[in-house]
Structure 1
Amino acid sequence: MARSRTQYKCRSCGYISASYLGRCPNCGAWNQFEKESQEVRQTSTKATPSRLMASVGAKEAVKMSSVKAEKEERVMTKSSELNRVLGGGIVPGSLVLIGGDPGIGKSTLMLQIMSDLADKYKVLYVSGEESASQIKLRADRLGLGQSPMLLYPESNMEHIRDQIDDVKPDFVVIDSIQTMNEPSLDSMVGSASQVREVTAELMKIAKLDQITVFVIGHVTKEGSIAGPKILEHMVDTVLYFEGDEHHAYRILHSVKNRFGAANEIGMFEMKNEGLAEVTNPSAVFLDERLPDSTGSAVVVSLEGTRPILGEIQALVTPTA
């Protein structure tokens, strides 16, 4: 027999409370609690494992010395900056989260990368924000209109799972995670429970079917991925795409990477024909520096494995 239970969950951190709270005691965010209803079966109190763990979990413990592990193969893209940030290329079967402000160029970056990979691999681009004609128009502006990449404008996860089973792609792009909807949940689209459940389903697809999944996520005003903080712990790699709307330069840096070093950065420049790589960021930062100027010094900053030159300026005046 099942009974209904009501609880409240924080959209920022996933904290669960039996009653509504104005401020989350875990993360301190205001007005983030949303109502959720669950059916609890009274006949069984044993926790049910997730579908992913039930599928890949071992039957018994094994010695580490007896486990056979080979170095993961990498898929190299035409973008050396992305390869650097990912630690040497894309790992098949990984789940990569790309976060950034709306309109910063996340979809443009993925469209360019996936169009190049579509020449050798089968790519499925799932969009919950744009129609196929809108994506086609943007691809034409970037000179990618003849790409064999598959477009699928859909936000229902049941239909997306069926499409992935039929197409059997090598790469899947989800644009964006906040627009995806799991019909089995009663909560609204973009809520903490929806984002968490959809991400868990994408993780299952990536690990069990060895499909590389790129997930695009929007960033809130506080600078974090919209949705629960646990989202970043569920994926293999977290990349942030940042920049200033008044400038053309964009920086892609890794916050978390299970297959490489974190804190690596890649630099791009937004042009009319799309994103272009900046292979020498130091030249950009020192472009306007005057030679032999007073109160100016060049310093070296190490970002990941890349040394970057920058300029420090100081204004000096004689004292009394």
Structure 2
Amino acid sequence: GEPGIGKSTLFLQNGLLIKQLKVLYISGEESEQQIKMRADRLKISNDNFYLLTETDTNIIFKEIKKLKPELVIVDSIQTIQSNLIDSSAGTVSQIRECAASFQRFAKETNTPVFLIGHITKDGAIAGPKILEHMVDTVLQFEGDRHYAYRILRTLKNRFGSTSELGIYEMSGAGMRVVTNPSEILIAQREEVLSGSAIAAALEGMRPLLIEVQALVTPSVYGTPQRTVTGFDLRRLQLLLAVLEKRGGFQFGLKDVFVNIAGGIKIEDPSTDLAVICALLSSYEDNPLPKNICFAGEVGLNGEIRAVNRIEQRIAEAQKLGFEKIIVSKFNKKSFDPKAFSIQVIALSRVDEVYQQLF
């Protein structure tokens, strides 16, 4: 994860909460006083939790032999150094050697080891791909530091599914698990305004209802702007091209801004339909009904394509009190509309959606 996102807080909190295991927290980044200050803020007491501030692998493994911990947390692998190699901590050879020694220890003694790692400017794990290949599971902690919400994603998992997802809220007393993120992501809607649509998306295994905001304004400069937050820019350009070609809307003369509310990044193609409806709503300056949401991928011919796990999405929309959901006609075989109290409208083309809404 990024600096300051809450990696150390998350692991310190979980280490203190696991009272039945002997936990060793190795910190090469912070002093005992700093960690003590954070632990005081978390207000969790645990007599089975041990702290070692050390960067030399020789000393670390001597202490591990003496203590025999049942869980080891290393914060962070980029600060740990092996004297077998003559390079500074954080270099590729040091990371490879230190990760390999922790891996040997983990496999030989059957002790779980968590390595906290830095990431580069692009968001990749620092120390090319070697660290990702060596470990069994890669968890990426992401979110915007300006928002309170953090997402823990699985990128690789040798023990199970990679579609698991954890959502946390950062507070003064540590990380709080968010059990129903949909309510938070669409909570701040009072009056009905144009350019806002709700998408029934999936993040991993978890259905999420998110608010898509769009703003379409006449272009003042020569080249129209295309600005996105939390959504793929190329995907937006593709959807605008579909609306120009298949719907005859003059987006080529307009500035277009799209924002996924709540500071989360979304990669699920099923948000296409909500993005298109938000764009049309802003273009026409006509608000969408408050009780409707969308789930569908949009193809280049303006057709609405089927999306996976449609039943979960419909159930989530129903749970949050929506009265209608627009889905793809090609999803009809995957669910029974009678099983839901919400009205499911199945359409096959974008122009049908436009007629239905406006």
Question: TM (normalized to structure 1)?
Answer: 0.65
2:68 and 2:48 map into 1 onto residues whose CA distance is 15
Amino acid at match of 1:149: F
1:124 and 1:166 map into 2 onto residues whose CA distance is 12
1:295 and 1:226 map into 2 onto residues whose CA distance is 39
More moved, 223-232 vs 208-217? 223-232
Moved over 6 A (4+): none
* Residue 86 (structure 1) aligns with: none
1:212 and 1:127 map into 2 onto residues whose CA distance is 17
2:115 and 2:203 map into 1 onto residues whose CA distance is 24
Identity %: 51
* Residue 109 (structure 1) aligns with: 10
Deviation, structure 1 residue 247: 1.1
Q: How does 1:39-54 map to 2 (within 5 A)?
A: none
1:299 and 1:153 map into 2 onto residues whose CA distance is 46
Deviation, structure 1 residue 224: 1.1
1:285 and 1:258 map into 2 onto residues whose CA distance is 31
1:248 and 1:156 map into 2 onto residues whose CA distance is 35
Deviation, structure 1 residue 176: 0.3
Change (3 A) 1:133 1:147: farther
Deviation, structure 1 residue 289: 2.6
1:242-264 superposed Cα distances (whole Å, 9 cap, x missing partner): 11111111111110111111132
2:132 and 2:174 map into 1 onto residues whose CA distance is 28
Q: How does 1:64-75 map to 2 (within 5 A)?
A: none
* Residue 52 (structure 1) aligns with: none
- Alignment partner of 1:274 is 2:274: no
- Alignment partner of 1:289 is 2:189: yes
Structure 2: runs of 5 or more not aligned: 214-277, 286-358
Deviation, structure 1 residue 148: 3.0
2:34 and 2:188 map into 1 onto residues whose CA distance is 39
- Alignment partner of 1:176 is 2:76: yes
* Residue 309 (structure 1) aligns with: 209
Deviation, structure 1 residue 123: 0.5
Deviation, structure 1 residue 294: 4.2
The structure showing larger relative contact order (alpha-carbon pairs under 8 Å, at least 6 residues apart) is: 1
Structure 1: runs of 5 or more not aligned: 1-99
Bigger helix share? 2
* Contact preservation (8 Å) 2:21, 2:48: no
Question: TM (normalized to structure 2)?
Answer: 0.59
Structure possessing the higher radius of gyration over alpha carbons: 2
* Contact preservation (8 Å) 1:126, 1:153: yes
Deviation, structure 1 residue 299: 1.6
Deviation, structure 1 residue 145: 4.9
* Residue 134 (structure 1) aligns with: 34
1:228 and 1:295 map into 2 onto residues whose CA distance is 41
1:259 and 1:301 map into 2 onto residues whose CA distance is 26
2:203 and 2:75 map into 1 onto residues whose CA distance is 28
Provide the secondary structure at the position in 2 that maps to 1:208.
helix
Deviation, structure 1 residue 292: 5.4
1:274 and 1:120 map into 2 onto residues whose CA distance is 21
